[in-house]
Amino acid sequence: MIGILSNTAYARLFGAQVIALAGTGLLTIALGLLAYDLAGDRAGAVLGTALTIKMVAYVALAPVANAIAVRLPRKALLIGADLIRAAVALCLPFIGSIWQVYVLIFVLQAASATFTPAFQATIPDILEDEADYTKALSLSRLAYELENLFSPALAGLLLLVTSYHWLFGGTFAGFLGSALLVWLAPLPARKAVAGQSFVERLTRGLRIYLATPRLRGLLALNMAAAAASAFVIVNTVVVVKAGFGGTQTDVAIAFGAFGVGSMIGALSLPRLLEHLSDRPVMIASALALSVITLAHAFWLLGVGRTGWPAFLAIWAISGVFYSALLTPSGRLLRRSAHAEDRPAVFAAQFALSHACWLVTYPLAGWVGVAFGLPVAMLVLGILALLGVAAAAIVWPAGDPREATHAHPDLPPDHPHLDRHDGVGTHRHELIIDDIHRAWPAKS
């Protein structure tokens, strides 16, 4: 897996991702401490609102940002978004009102909604071999999980010698370092997209996404992943501290167990996907994640709390299947769009996947408070299982790339028909575009 870092462009982009993730991790901790300074015991409400603003910005702005920025040079777009994020980090230590936090978080997340899909769409243009791209996806997932483990430790060490305000300085340095590495990376030019109106550019990614069976399946699996893991993200601290009487360290250990499981899943995937296709791996992982969530919920309702080692094992196993479910997503997106449409399709995935979180995060919190944590886990497990069932229905077995189809709307001398010997009904690898605007009813 590490061998793909011999590709200079990818190595620098991966370095940019790692540095930016470290900065983001420091930002998360510093933001919590800032919220407590500004709001005292209402800090949780402030952070909850900030997270909601983040998700709304991701869902609403990713397609808009792509439609506006599609004609900009790729490198300038990525560097500009990083510099905006760095500027926001530099401003955060000097604010004195809660509304200023909300405004700056919105600006920062708007920049992230521009940066992240464009960054993700760049990687398959650099790593054209699917095996290399699969390794890059696993390496990216590994970076996310390592950041979850190491950023709190780094923040803890820094807080021993300095104020939390300086953590924002680390965030600033992270985004600035990311911009520098992007500037140093030799990136391929963006494929030109001509003759499209703003509305077409705005909706193109979503249209391609929802017209492609494997991506409709991916959307259902996104909901399954969000539902099953929302309980982990939202309620782990409650389970550990209220249920087990644990400490802050125990909370970190619980999150660490989930993260270690996720890393194991990411490291195992490249070899697994050499022998199995994406669909069975992703659906089986989603099913396993759903069943584990439901079984845990029924155990809590019928028997009671598990022991601490068993709880950590459940979190670790859930992390394995969560990673195995989500990591191959980039392969599906790459396979389902022409190079010039990839930024739009990645932006659609970014928005739709975060829309799933926008549903499941509040569900995990509100149902847990109103009816208890076991009921919240049960509801989320059922929602995850429904997502798996939907994916199995809308994503055909075998995930055929080629489809037999006709173009009754095209003139006989159309260049596309000429490439297929003028035959009206023909078969080739199908990708939704201006000529193929819908998937054939039968492949």
**Distance, CA of 280 to CA of 287 (rounded, Å):** 10
CA dist list (Å): 417 to 403, 410, 425:
15, 8, 9
pLDDT of amino acid 252: 75
- Of 343, 355, 224, 206, nearest to 293 by C-alpha is 224
Which among 263, 246, 238, 253 has a CA at the least distance from the CA of 312?
A: 253
Q: Which two tokens stand for residue 63?
A: 């397609």
Q: How far apart are CA 365 and CA 354, in angstroms?
A: 17
Query: What are the mean pLDDT values of the chain's consecutive 10-residue runs (443 residues total)?
Result: 82 91 83 77 67 84 80 88 94 87 89 88 86 86 76 74 85 94 86 66 86 94 93 83 80 84 88 90 96 95 90 94 92 88 88 91 84 92 97 87 71 67 66 75 58
d(CA 336, CA 208): 8
* Model confidence, pTM: 0.84
- Give pLDDT, residue 443: 46
- Helices vs strands, H then E, count in the chain: 15, 2
Q: What structural domains does the chain harbor?
A: 8-188 (1.20.1250.20), 200-395 (1.20.1250.20)
User: How distant is the alpha carbon of residue 112 from its chain centre?
Assistant: 12
Separation of alpha carbons 404 and 406, rounded Å: 7
pLDDT for position 67 = 80
- What are the φ and ψ backbone dihedral angles of 337, each rounded to 5 degrees? -150, 145
Residues 6+ apart with CB under 8 A from 340: 190, 191, 192, 193
